[in-house]
Structure 1
Amino acid sequence: MNGGDLFSLQGRTALITGGSRGIGRMIAEGFLAHGARVYITARKAQACNLAAQELASAGRCVSLPHDVSTVAGCRAVADAYGRHESTLDILVNNAGAAWGEDFDAFPEGGWDKVVDLNLKTPFFLTKALAQPMRAAAQARVGKIINIASTDGIGLNPQENYSYVASKAGLIHLTRRMAMRLAQDNIAVAAIAPGAFPSEMNRNARDHGEALSEHIPARRIGTPDDIAGAAIFLASRAGDYVMGATLVVDGGVTHARPYR
């Protein structure tokens, strides 16, 4: 057993949606540090291009700015990727949205926007990229990593109905996709992050110290925490992990005492 090879991503290609900021960017940084060629997508072209330019100091990182919230957008990303590479080793379905509003006022638009991006997009983007992923999987196990959330497992006081439904659905979709794609030598797994500072999780970003009091680990997550989990699943070390959701939350979901 070679410890260095076990977690290496040398020579592998990765596509990360929502890779210009937050958890997606943290994962991109980790993949680059372990030798992968990384492609990132984001809806805002300027932000995506700037992020790729900054990340390129650590390795090859290419910006593919597209809106993946529609099936047409997923196909456009797949076409854009295909102009650079013929195979794809790792797909990280990270792009997501949230919406919080009182039950009686919760709008259809807040439901559709979140469910489409968080649940529909991972499925149809994976379909759009199936050919290059199957081609890569001829040589080694391909990897699909869906970024779910601890809100898909447990509840918090926020009235984020479409978000919790989409993330719970993504966790179960991960299991179903894993069953099907294992026959193509592609392992599908998910990560359920807890409190990581980002634009989507402003509570962790702006009130991390106060939030840490409710986390068994006594701190919020760091880039190394989420990148380490993604590297494990993406590398040879994670080849036998299929259909599972790895909870990365400092113990909130499984190690917090009942009150």
Structure 2
Amino acid sequence: MRRFEGYGVLVTGAGRGIGEATARRLAGEGGRVLVTDVDGDRAQKAAAGIRESGGEALALVCDVGDRASVEAAVAHAVREFGTLDVLVNNAYACHPDAALFEDESDEEWQRDLDITLTGAYRCARAALPHLAAAPDRRGAIVGIGSVNGEQDFGNHAYSAAKAGLASLTRTLAGHAAPRGVRVNLIAPGTVRTDAWAGREDLLAAAAAQYPLGRVGLPGDIAAAVAFLASRDAAWITGVTLPVDGGILVSRPRWGSALRGE
């Protein structure tokens, strides 16, 4: 299946984890993908891996916290591909909570919101005119939210930012629909990525709480992105799609498990 043949795609935070898996999936379906990451070496490695697998990918450093960097990335995608049809807002920041809420710092709070929420806003703002110009009303924005934006799983700033993404998805979907651009969000549960390195015990405890019996894999999220970005979802906009192994229906068990109760 090559649902993205001829598409130009930009994925943020694509040097590893969910972003890399998404870039690989969309390239595997024919998309020409710009792999962006604040870490240039990671972006280059991910893009090289896609090319080795037969896909088309370029790499570029992009800091979603900087407007000029974002606008340069969008311009680069349009220049190289001739079109920009899909934006995947995946980049995020998440700092550990302080033991007491009153000890949270302004700097950490602001960092999480600026990268996770405002970064997505910067990317959507820069990309929207090009997505609106995509042929056949195929322009799409897919954001990576979190179950943290739906219920309490900790991480105050990160969770607030992800909840903000859900709201931005709804309002931007209404604004962009007349221009032929769809805007949707995915809310993953726990996903096995490098962010969990060295914490296998917590992943095992988490997996036991999921109705489907495991934590997610980056490919699970990439598959959902591919659906929402494709014409298969041509009549879907403004939604938050949980891809969470059922955790949102079993949330009461989660907190007690991680407390060892």
Tell me the TM-score normalised to structure 2 length.
0.90
SS for the counterpart of 2:241 is: strand
The verdict on how the C-alpha distance between 1:30 and 1:180 changes in structure 2, with shifts beyond 3 A counting, is same
CA distance in structure 1 between the aligned counterparts of 2:140 and 2:201, rounded to whole angstroms: 33
Alignment of 1:78 onto 2:98: no
Q: Distance in 2 between matches of 1:29 and 1:142?
A: 19
Q: Indicate the residue corresponding to 1:38 in structure 2.
A: 33
Letter in 2 for 1:133: L
CA–CA distance in 2 between the matches of 1:85 and 1:93? 19
Give TM-score, length-normalised by structure 1.
0.90
- Equivalent residue in structure 1 for 2:250, among 233, 248, 256: 256
Residues 33-79 of structure 1, C-alpha deviations (whole Å, 9 max, x = no match): 21111111101111111111112123001101121112222122123
The reply on whether 1:29 has 2:24 as its aligned counterpart is yes
Deviation at 1:116, TM superposition (A): 0.7
Is 1:168 the equivalent of 2:163?
yes
> Hey, what does 1:149 align to over in structure 2?
146
Deviations 1:77-120 (A, max 9, x none): 12322331331111000000101222122111101111011111
Q: Deviations over 1:15-35 (max 9, x none)?
A: 100011011011112112211
Structure 1 residues without counterparts, runs of 5 or longer: none
In the other structure, the counterpart of 2:256 is none
CA–CA distance in structure 1, aligned partners of residues 79 and 35 of structure 2: 14
Q: 1:13/1:81 Cα in 2 relative to 1: closer, same or farther (>3 Å)? A: closer
SS in 2 for 1:210: helix
| Kept after mapping to 1: 8 A contact 2:78/2:84 | no
Quote the Cα distance in structure 1 between the aligned partners of 2:137 and 2:157: 36
Letter in 2 for 1:122: A
Q: Deviations over 1:170-213 (max 9, x none)?
A: 00110000000001100000000111112334587664333211
Counterpart in 2 of 1:92? Answer: 88
What one-letter code is carried by the residue in structure 2 that aligns with 1:250? G
Distance 2:122 2:129 in 1: 13
